[in-house]
Structure 1
């Protein structure tokens, strides 16, 4: 894995997983030489993600819509990342139901942060769904060194292509890790095609004291992002945009891992 490289002619530099999007993010992405980012915030309806991605895209930066699905219950949650999915799918379906729902989409399906804390697909999950997965993440700034090593082991065992990302929840982390594909990525469809075909790529992340500091700040941010208090206040009331009882086909309400009433079981 290269560090601190620069793109060459014909390459497209893509940060494959960011959580934030505003004018500051766009400025940062352009300043560090990115050609595209995948915007995949938590608990945000796909229609809103698509609208924001279109609004912040321009000739210098492509913003691709994505969804990082929060599957299952708090105690057994796993994340699945889809790049440019076709149709909205809610959070809080079982892992198996989520994979079944997105398998038919014309999207790229990625494994973010495998076996990281309690947020992630296991090696067994990946093996069981390898035919539907397009790449496994092997580095992001929230990881500790042992997380990176384990992710690389899992990726090797899976035989699947790999990727890395900034997994940025904070603007300053945008572009701290990226993938350089060997072809132009001018549209969301171009990126999906590159990922689904296993297109040749080079992977980069920054290094040094400032990068290590940003890594620790990003990890500390998990204290709020994944606190049970936040989960109880934001998720369980059932009024956030990705709850199965929201703006989705009625069948999803019956697939809610917390039960059709949305209560904590």
Structure 2
């Protein structure tokens, strides 16, 4: 398996290459237009606190002949004070937030989902180095470049992926439409369906991590970090995270009691 990292604008072999922004939080006509203009073949749509059926419905509605929108779930494991985000693709059944990391990983394995580690060791919301070591057999790829990261975060993520011999990926992690396409993963494979992307991750298909550098990257980082600060105020956390009526709360009626015994709230 060959993996490499290049700044955006460096040409890679276009034969059989599929360019995928592996994690975006927003999806509308503007996002599709921007992704298509950036030459992407697919994006992974994984909004917070949204149930899988709703994500699938929206992804299907915005997929076009030029752009595949793949549904994903970034599951918010643990409590607000001890949280880990894990990105899963190819789920057949919904998995709630606010369950322990080990319970989420067991459910991903049961469903044979592709499991990705987004923004490792970033802030207080990410899988840690010890987590990566513990679940190295379950995790299919580690994000080694994220526009929200400072350079030291990206270096640490790259080091962890190398130490564990886990394949890399990148994404725009776009919470704002204008960030879509600022980073993508170019797979040496034709990816036309969700199943194709899941297989590319699970089979360790060769890939290239491609990203913007320079002033525009700095602007993207600043915009996205400002949005992150807004998004993570305690007021919003209290509203979203502690109500059993929220759609991804494990005690929500949609999960039929299957996760009641592991709910952290």
Q: TM-score range, shorter-chain basis?
A: over 0.9
Is 2:261 aligned against 1:257? Answer: no
CA distance in 1, matches of 2:48, 2:216: 27
Contact 2:80 2:241 in 1 (8 A): no
How far off its partner does 1:249 sit?
A: 2.6
How far off its partner does 1:103 sit?
A: 1.0
Coordinate RMSD, CA, aligned? 1.1
Query: Which residue is equivalent to 1:79?
Result: 85
Unaligned 5+ segments in structure 1 are 259-265
CA distance in 1, matches of 2:206, 2:162: 16
1:213 is aligned, of 219, 240, 249, to 219
How far off its partner does 1:238 sit?
A: 2.2
Deviations 1:136-162 (A, max 9, x none): 111111001111111111111111111
How far off its partner does 1:211 sit?
A: 2.1
State how 1:114-193 maps to structure 2 within 5 Å. Answer: 114-193=120-199
How far off its partner does 1:18 sit?
A: 0.4
Is 2:16 aligned against 1:10? Answer: yes
CA distance in 2, matches of 1:175, 1:150: 23
CA distance in 2, matches of 1:9, 1:100: 37
CA distance in 2, matches of 1:139, 1:103: 25
Q: What count of residue pairs does the alignment treat as equivalent? A: 258
Contact 2:243 2:249 in 1 (8 A): no
SS in 1 for 2:185: strand
CA distance in 1, matches of 2:225, 2:91: 28
Query: Which residue is equivalent to 2:230?
Result: 224
Query: Which residue is equivalent to 2:255?
Result: 248
State how 1:34-53 maps to structure 2 within 5 Å. Answer: 34-53=40-59
How far off its partner does 1:208 sit?
A: 2.1
TM-score by length of 1: 0.95
How far off its partner does 1:50 sit?
A: 0.3
Unaligned 5+ segments in structure 2 are none
CA distance in 1, matches of 2:25, 2:241: 17
Contact 2:87 2:115 in 1 (8 A): yes
TM-score by length of 2: 0.95
CA distance in 2, matches of 1:3, 1:201: 14
SS in 2 for 1:30: helix
How far off its partner does 1:237 sit?
A: 2.1
Deviations 1:177-229 (A, max 9, x none): 00111111000000000010000001100122122111111011111222222
